[in-house]
Chain A
Amino acid sequence: MSMAADERELRDDGLSSLQLSTRLESIWRTPSGFFGALMSVDHKVVGRRYIVTAFAFLVLGGILAVLMRIQLAGPEQTFLSPDKYNQIFTMHGSTMMFLFAVPVMEAFAVYLVPLMVGTRNIAFPRLNAFSYWMYLFGGCFLWISFLVNTGPDVGWFAYVPLSSLQYTPTKRPDVWAQMITFTEVAALAVSVEIVVTVFKLRAPGMTLDRIPLFVWGMLVTSFLVMFAMPSIMVASTSLILDRLVNTRFYDPSSGGHPLLWQHLFWFFGHPEVYIIFIPGTGMVSMILGTFARRPVIGYPVVILSLIATGFLSFGLWVHHMFVTGLPQLGAGLFTASSMLIAVPSGLQIFCWLATLWDGRPVYRTPLLFVLGFIVIFVIGGLSGVMVASVPIDTQVHDTYFVVAHFHYVLIGGAVFPLIGAVYYWFPKITGRMLSERLGRWNFWFAFVGFNVTFFPMHLLGLIGMPRRVYTYTADMDWAHLNLLSSGGAAIFAISFALLLVNVIISLRSGALAGDNPWDASTLEWATSSPPPPQNFDRIPVVKHRDPLWFDNDSLPVVAGLSVERREVLLTSLAEAEPQTREASPEPSLWPLITAIATTIFFIGSIFTPWAVLWGTPPMAVALIGWFWPSGSKEDEE
Chain B
Amino acid sequence: MRQTIVRNVADLPTYGYGPRSGPWWGAMGFMALEGMGFAIAIGTYLYLYAVNTSWPIGAAPPDLWPGTVEVAIYLLSIIPNEMTNRVALRQDLPKVRAGLIVMSLIGIVLLVLRGFEFAHLNTRWDNSAYGSIVWLILGLHTTHLATDLGDTVVLTVLMFTRHAQPRRFSDVTDNVFYWNFVVLAWLPLYVLLDWVPRL
Given A553-B2, A620-B150, decide whether A560 and B10 contact each other with a Cβ distance below 8 A: yes
Q: How far is the CB of B36 from chain A (nearest CB, A)?
A: 4
* Cβ A558 vs Cβ B165 within 8 A: no
Q: Tell which of B4, B7, B12 touches A555, judged by Cβ atoms closer than 8 Å.
A: B4
**Chain A 112-145 interface mask (CB, 8 Å, partner B; 1/0):** 0000000000011000000000000000000000
Is the CB of B22 closer than 8 A to any CB of chain A? yes
* Cβ B136 vs Cβ A238 within 8 A: yes
Q: How far is the CB of B176 from chain A (nearest CB, A)?
A: 17
Q: Tell which of A251, A553, A573, A637 touches B165, judged by Cβ atoms closer than 8 Å.
A: A637
* Cβ B11 vs Cβ A560 within 8 A: yes
Given A245-B126, A249-B133, decide whether A123 and B33 contact each other with a Cβ distance below 8 A: no
Is the CB of A188 closer than 8 A to any CB of chain B? yes
Is the CB of A440 closer than 8 A to any CB of chain B? no
Q: Which residues of B contact A637 (CB under 8 A)?
A: 14-15, 165-167
Q: Interface with A: B41-49, B67-75, B101-109, B112-120, which one?
A: B41-49
* Cβ A230 vs Cβ B14 within 8 A: no
Given A241-B125, A247-B136, A251-B129, decide whether A555 and B1 contact each other with a Cβ distance below 8 A: yes
CA distance A351 to B113 in the complex (A): 58
Is the CB of B61 closer than 8 A to any CB of chain A? no
Is the CB of A554 closer than 8 A to any CB of chain B? yes
Given A192-B30, A555-B3, decide whether A255 and B163 contact each other with a Cβ distance below 8 A: no
* Cβ B51 vs Cβ A257 within 8 A: yes
* Cβ A554 vs Cβ B1 within 8 A: yes
* Cβ A249 vs Cβ B165 within 8 A: no
Given A230-B40, A554-B2, A560-B8, decide whether A570 and B20 contact each other with a Cβ distance below 8 A: yes
Q: How far is the CB of A11 from chain B (nearest CB, A)?
A: 5
* Cβ A570 vs Cβ B16 within 8 A: yes
Q: How far is the CB of B198 from chain A (nearest CB, A)?
A: 18
Q: Tell which of A238, A247, A254, A557 touches B5, judged by Cβ atoms closer than 8 Å.
A: A557
* Cβ A629 vs Cβ B163 within 8 A: yes
Given A200-B25, A247-B136, A636-B165, decide whether A559 and B154 contact each other with a Cβ distance below 8 A: no
Given A226-B36, A538-B3, A582-B15, decide whether A245 and B25 contact each other with a Cβ distance below 8 A: no
Q: How far is the CB of B11 from chain A (nearest CB, A)?
A: 7
**Chain A 447-463 interface mask (CB, 8 Å, partner B; 1/0):** 00000000000000000
* Cβ B127 vs Cβ A254 within 8 A: yes
Is the CB of B79 closer than 8 A to any CB of chain A? no
**Chain B 117-154 interface mask (CB, 8 Å, partner A; 1/0):** 00000000111111111011000000000000010001
Q: Which residues of A contact B44 (CB under 8 A)?
A: 234, 238, 249, 260, 264
* Cβ B5 vs Cβ A559 within 8 A: yes
CA distance A553 to B2 in the complex (A): 7
Q: Which residues of B contact A267 (CB under 8 A)?
A: 40
* Cβ B7 vs Cβ A558 within 8 A: yes
* Cβ A247 vs Cβ B22 within 8 A: no
* Cβ A13 vs Cβ B8 within 8 A: yes
Q: Tell which of A199, A226, A246, A555 touches B25, judged by Cβ atoms closer than 8 Å.
A: A199
Is the CB of A519 closer than 8 A to any CB of chain B? no
Question: How many contacts A-B (CB < 8 Å)?
Answer: 202
Q: Tell which of A192, A538, A553, A569 touches B29, judged by Cβ atoms closer than 8 Å.
A: A192
Q: Which residues of A contact B25 (CB under 8 A)?
A: 123, 195-196, 199-200
Q: Which chain A residue shows the least CB distance to B25?
A: A196
Is the CB of A170 closer than 8 A to any CB of chain B? no
Q: How far is the CB of B168 from chain A (nearest CB, A)?
A: 8
* Cβ B9 vs Cβ A196 within 8 A: no
* Cβ B128 vs Cβ A248 within 8 A: yes
Q: How far is the CB of B3 from chain A (nearest CB, A)?
A: 5
**Chain A 1-38 interface mask (CB, 8 Å, partner B; 1/0):** 00000000001010001000000000000000000000
Given A196-B22, A234-B37, A573-B19, decide whether A255 and B10 contact each other with a Cβ distance below 8 A: no
For chain B, the bracket of interface size reads 35 or more
* Cβ A200 vs Cβ B22 within 8 A: yes
CA distance A11 to B12 in the complex (A): 12
Q: Which residues of A contact B199 (CB under 8 A)?
A: none
Q: Which of B78-124 contact A (CB under 8 A)?
A: none
Q: Which residues of A contact B4 (CB under 8 A)?
A: 554-557
Is the CB of A150 closer than 8 A to any CB of chain B? no
* Cβ B126 vs Cβ A247 within 8 A: yes
**Chain A 364-390 interface mask (CB, 8 Å, partner B; 1/0):** 000000000000000000000000000
Q: How far is the CB of B162 from chain A (nearest CB, A)?
A: 8
Is the CB of A342 closer than 8 A to any CB of chain B? no
Count of A interface residues, CB-CB < 8 Å: 73
Is the CB of A398 closer than 8 A to any CB of chain B? no
Is the CB of A167 closer than 8 A to any CB of chain B? no
CA distance A554 to B32 in the complex (A): 41
Q: Which residues of B contact A635 (CB under 8 A)?
A: 163, 165
* Cβ B3 vs Cβ A580 within 8 A: no
Q: Which residues of B contact A579 (CB under 8 A)?
A: 12, 16, 20
* Cβ B22 vs Cβ A561 within 8 A: no
**Chain A 617-633 interface mask (CB, 8 Å, partner B; 1/0):** 00010001001110100
Is the CB of A191 closer than 8 A to any CB of chain B? yes
Is the CB of A263 closer than 8 A to any CB of chain B? yes
* Cβ A578 vs Cβ B12 within 8 A: yes
**Chain A 583-618 interface mask (CB, 8 Å, partner B; 1/0):** 100000000000000000000000000000000000
Q: Which of A516-573 contact B (CB under 8 A)?
A: 526, 537-538, 541, 548, 553-561, 567, 569-570, 573
CA distance A271 to B60 in the complex (A): 38
Is the CB of A233 closer than 8 A to any CB of chain B? yes
Is the CB of B158 closer than 8 A to any CB of chain A? yes
CA distance A242 to B154 in the complex (A): 35
CA distance A157 to B104 in the complex (A): 42
Q: Which residues of A contact B163 (CB under 8 A)?
A: 628-629, 631, 635-636
Given A238-B136, A248-B132, decide whether A557 and B6 contact each other with a Cβ distance below 8 A: yes
Chain A contacts to B: CB under 8 angstroms: 11, 13, 17, 123-124, 188, 191-192, 195-196, 199-201, 204, 226-227, 229-231, 233-234, 237-238, 241-242, 245-249, 251, 254-257, 260, 263-264, 267, 515, 526, 537-538, 541, 548, 553-561, 567, 569-570, 573, 578-583, 620, 624, 627-629, 631, 635-637
**A199-B25, A247-B129 given. 9 additional CB < 8 A pairs?**
A13-B10, A123-B26, A124-B26, A238-B136, A248-B131, A515-B1, A560-B9, A583-B14, A620-B150
7 contacts between A and B (CB under 8 A): A123-B25, A192-B26, A249-B48, A260-B47, A555-B3, A559-B10, A570-B21
Chain B contacts to A: CB under 8 angstroms: 1-16, 19-22, 25-26, 29-30, 32-34, 36-37, 39-41, 44, 47-48, 51-52, 57, 125-133, 135-136, 150, 154, 158, 163, 165-167
6 pairs of A and B residues whose beta carbons are closest in the complex: A560-B10, A255-B129, A247-B132, A192-B29, A230-B37, A256-B129
